[in-house]
Structure 1
């Protein structure tokens, strides 16, 4: 089987499939043939911190993954904050129950206080400060 790569689309193609792409007007003009070894290499997940891209000859190579945009970093921080708050709430619920029932052990009371403090600190985190956020440490279980 023969393979190709388009720098414009950053996609690997099976050259035998060209007629089907052409029939739908989807075959990029810049597809260049690549070797079986290149196909195998660039079909796979890239090394840590790398993604598939094109070199100056329009052939596949590994390039650095660009850092997230400010908007992406803020969105990720909002998700992270929400997950941290959910974890804290999940941990607090049974400890709070034990406290309210008057059956909380000394250890449970300490855990309850630690998780409530953590939840308050997480709630105070401004996601708009991403990516420069120092998350409070998660209480020890």
Structure 2
């Protein structure tokens, strides 16, 4: 018998789960927190001991799709394929707020991969539905605010120009501007904000 050996000593594990022959074995290990498969490695095992925690002898079947993760079953007897959305953006079905998925498995009912299109979207259990009544109220309120700001600017400008005209100090350009601003204010007052967002705002002088 040659005193040298060119082969790697292969370890063996008996049916009882303990090492029956010291040597090297190929194992497949998991993240013990998520139970997700992490990779393969060679482990040196010794008689009387068992495999390291989170290491298994049976190889998992590789999934064909990228959005599938390999996990070890809870009873540690088999490998499972589960959906993997990690790294994708999901949206809260309650607040519409986006969040990055950092777990594997099915999404809870409070999250969806569908992106809401407006701040007035509500989740109906399957899709986002825009609350058009709430959207209309908000658009009218926004138009009312813009109309008020425009009128405030017009009133301030007209007051200044009118004072100059009242004391006969208005220049020709100021007199002309006064008329244009008054016309502008009349047109502003005629704006019907209930037609928002389809409003054709008058052009400011």
TM, length-normalised to structure 2: 0.40
Question: Structure 1 pair 11/73, CA: closer, same or farther in 2 (3 Å)?
Answer: closer
User: Aligned-pair distance for 1:59?
Assistant: 5.9
**Mapped partners of 1:64, 1:11: distance in 2:** 12
Change (3 A) 1:11 1:136: closer
Larger radius of gyration: 2
Q: Are 1:115 and 2:154 counterparts?
A: no
CA distance in 1, matches of 2:91, 2:115: 14
Contact 2:140 2:195 in 1 (8 A): yes
Structure 2 gaps of 5+ residues are 1-89, 121-131
Which residue number in structure 1 is paired with residue 140 of structure 2?
Answer: 74
Gaps of 5+ in 1: 14-31, 36-53
The structural deviation recorded for 1:65 is: 2.8
In the other structure, the counterpart of 2:19 is: none
Q: Does 1:34 align with 2:119?
A: no
Which structure shows the bigger proportion of residues in strand conformation? 2
* Contact 1:81 1:122 survives alignment (8 Å): yes
Higher helix share: 1
Which of 115, 132, 135 is equivalent to 2:201?
A: 135
**Superposition RMSD in Å:** 3.4
Q: Work out which structure has the larger RCO, using CA pairs closer than 8 Å and 6 or more positions apart in sequence.
A: 1
Q: Give how far 1:113 is off.
A: 0.7
